[in-house]
Structure formats: C-alpha cells, structure tokens
Amino acid sequence: MVPNTPGTKRSCLMKLYRAYDTQSFWQTEKKIRVSLPLTRGPSAFIPEKEVMQANSLNERMHLLVEEYSISGRLDNITQVMSLHTQYLESFLRSQFYMLRMDGPLPLPYRHYIAIMAAARHQCFYLINMHVDEFLKTGGIPEWLNGLEYVPQRLKNLNEINKLLAHRPWLVTKEHIQKLVKTGENNWSLPELVHAVVLLAHYHALASFVFGSGINPERDLNTSNGYRLISVNSFCVCDLANDNNIENASLTSNNFGISDSLSELEALMNRMRRLQEEKEDEEASQEERNTRFEKEKTESLLVVTEAFDDEILSIADVSRYIEDPGFGYKDFARRGEEHLPTFRAQDYTWENHGFSLVNRLYSDIGHLLDEKFRMVYNLTYNTMATHEDVDTTMLRRALFNYVHCMFGIRYDDYDYGEVNQLLERSLKVYIKTVTCYPERTTKRMYDSYWRQFKHSEKVHVNLLLMEARMQAELLYALRAITRHLT
C-alpha cells in the first residue's frame, strides 16, 4: 500500500490527471479534472440498488425529467431527490424557471452565476454541469478562462457571492447600492434579484451535492465514461491503493444494532416528553430568548472534522472567484464585535421576502414559496421502523438549527428542543453540510440516525438545503428592502 502522505497524494493526483484524454478545449479542458467515483450509482453514500429500485417504480419522475430537466437527462441529483417525488417536482420547476424561462438575465449569465456560486464550495459537479450549459446557451467560451475575461458587471457580483455563501449576515444595503448605482456596469434591481436567487440556490445545492455524496455523471463523450467531476471525501490515492469506499470509512462505525435501536427509542421518548411538557406549560419569551443565545453559543463548540485543503487545491476553481480563503465564521464567535440577531418576526419570508422577490422577478416567489413549504411540511409519518409518528417537532428543529447558525431567531420557538432532539453527531453533520459542505464525509453521514432509512437522511439534506437558501435570501432581500426605503 502506498503511504498516505501529502507528497504521495500530489504524485497520485498528477499521474491520474495525465491519464485523462481531452476531446475539445472548451467542453473538456475547462472542466475540473479530479477523481473517478469509488462507487457505482448516483450516490457514494447510498446503495445503488436502493435508489434504482425507487426510480424503477417512479413513472412521475421520468415525466418530470422530460418536462423540466435542464440537461435533458436523468442526472444523479434528480435520481437521489426522486426518493421524495413531491419535493422533486417543486425543485425542478423552480430551477427550470430561474434557468430557462423569461427573466431579467440572459441565459449564459444565469449559468455563469451558477458556476461562480458553486466555486465558493469547490463543487466541481455543479461547475462542470454549468460549464456545459453555459456553452450550450451561447456563452462566450473565453469567459471560462476566469473572471478577468468576463464583463465587469458580472465580476462585481464577487463580493455578494462571497458573503452570501459564507457570512450572509454581513450583507448590507451598501453592497446593494454599490451594484445598482448608475453607470455602465450597474445592475437593475430585477437583474440583481435574479442573480441573488441563483447564488443562493447554487450555494444551497452544493450543500445537497456534498451531503448526499452525489457521484460524477457518466459521460459517453469521455474515454473513461465519466465527466471530470469530484467525488468528495476520498483522496484519489485510494484508487491507486485499490481501497474501496467500504474500507475507507464504512468500517469506522463499529456500532451494534442494539445501540442504534436504543438511540432511536431514546429520540422517540424525548419527542414524546417534549410534546407533553409543551402541552403542560410553554416557556416564557425571556426563557426562549435565553435558550436561543445558549444554542447559538453552543454551536461554536460543534467542530467539524479536520480537513486537508491540499486535495482540493489541485483543481483550479479560483479563476471563478476572488478571496478563496474567505469562509464561514461562527455568527456567535466570542471576543469579536457583537452582531445583532436577525429576529425572524421583523423580516419574514412570508410577509416581506416573498412579496419583494415576486415584485422584482415575476412568479419566482410563488415557486420558491411552494418549495419551502413542501420540504418543511413533507412527512410520511414514519421514523425508521416506527409508523404513525408526528415528525413536525423534529423537522422544525432541523430547519431552525440551520437558521440559528446564521443568527436568525424565531421568537415563537423554544430552542431547548434543539438540544433535546439533535444529537451531537447530527449537529456536526448539519454544521458541516450547511457551512463547510466540501468537508462532508461518508463517516459523518453514517454516524447519525443509524437505524433510519437513506430516504429519511435525504429528507434531512433537503431540509438543510432549503433552510440555508432561505437564510441567504432573507439577508439579501432585507438589504434590498433597506436600500429601497
């Protein structure tokens, strides 16, 4: 076995990269060249047969793909999302609208903005997908050389792309004013809202791609059968060492079935107890505020796994972004200037964001609202092997915990429920997928809810994705509102 050292990683990577054949300069050379998938099927985290079995019975999914697919094919994201067909329809309709239907931005701009957004998280899967679509919709090939080749107005999106992706609470009306000020490179407000929706969508979709272990697409136009897209979490040295995914991380979870079952029963008991306590006596507003501050502060202690940036540095995504070292920083970091909490009641999606986005970018508000409501209310009334279970409390805890990490507080929510319902391994997973998605590993995915079905974990990823997108939109749309008033 080859030693797993940084020097070995570099040499393995370079040898594998040299082996790739290129067919055309723009279609292939401008894609990110990284490793082949280590597993078959649409996901590195979910057994192929589980997804394939669901898809084979899903006629509705194939109709949706025919009507709304951007690429005209059944891609791996769609296959994994099809475990929840109701949600998939809302997702595909809204994505198709923002990429293909009438709107303020030209089609090539839309795909280039998607590339810029995906590059903030080194999401090669999405970058390469939209390199293809950018060229198919008439994009200027030279733009793929990097930001220095694009119009200044596109380049001017860098700052808001960076902030929305990593620290959306820093977006202010001054950022908006700078973009829409009079001049040859200015953005109209409808154009800017379209761009912001695309940025938030693809930042959040990158979270889903990494959180669900989405594999590269098969591509008949390349010699090895795969597009040149990254598989997160595993060094390509594993290919050289003939290590498979099971050896790499599955065996790291040596938990017995009885342990998993006891965890499940304990969670069920906590849900029952919380429901009983809520019926007996609700916490005061002061107590709720205190519990939010406690949860926000405790999120600092949720530390993700160590990460070797060297693996990703080989693939050059920096041409699509500026300040690549800028990343998520805990909202509640101690010892720094205190940032005011975003009180959700002061600027809600339902009462403020929805109407603004719909006014400036017709109909997208309805589609986004339908998607948010769909994922939040989606339930099959099951938890692992249990049926007839009300999972509302659990779904709300997941959604609100994401917003808590972004400094958003709901006055009517008791944040004590988060600590009761979300175990530490799940919190680590949520924080990683939401804030540092490129660091997500299969070990993290396997470490929580070990008795739950994969479809239930995909539902978790959908909730995290939409909670993140809504958080970004709330901050951006609030800044636009302040600019207008």
Handedness of CA 151, 153, 155, 161 (dihedral sign): negative
Q: Which residues of 35-61 are buried (b: 16+ CB within 10 A; e: fewer)?
A: bbbbbebbbbbbeeeebeebbeebeeb
The tens-digit pLDDT sequence of the chain (485 residues) is 444 454 554 444 444 333 333 334 455 556 665 555 556 799 999 999 889 877 776 788 888 888 888 777 889 999 999 999 999 999 999 999 999 999 999 999 999 999 999 999 999 999 999 999 999 999 999 999 999 999 999 999 999 999 999 999 999 999 999 999 878 899 999 999 999 999 999 999 999 999 999 998 876 454 344 444 333 333 322 222 233 333 333 333 444 444 666 888 999 999 999 888 876 667 777 776 676 666 656 666 566 554 444 444 435 788 999 999 999 987 665 445 567 789 988 999 999 999 999 999 999 999 999 999 999 999 999 999 899 999 999 999 999 999 999 999 999 899 999 999 999 999 999 999 999 999 999 999 999 999 999 999 999 999 999 999 999 999 999 999 999 99
How far is the C-alpha of 466 from the C-alpha of 87, rounded, in Å? 11
- Residue whose C-alpha is closest to residue 45's, from 373, 397, 448: 448
- Kindly report the pTM of this predicted structure: 0.83
- Residue whose C-alpha is closest to residue 77's, from 100, 48, 43: 43
Sequence length of the chain is: 485
User: What are the catalytic residues?
Assistant: 123
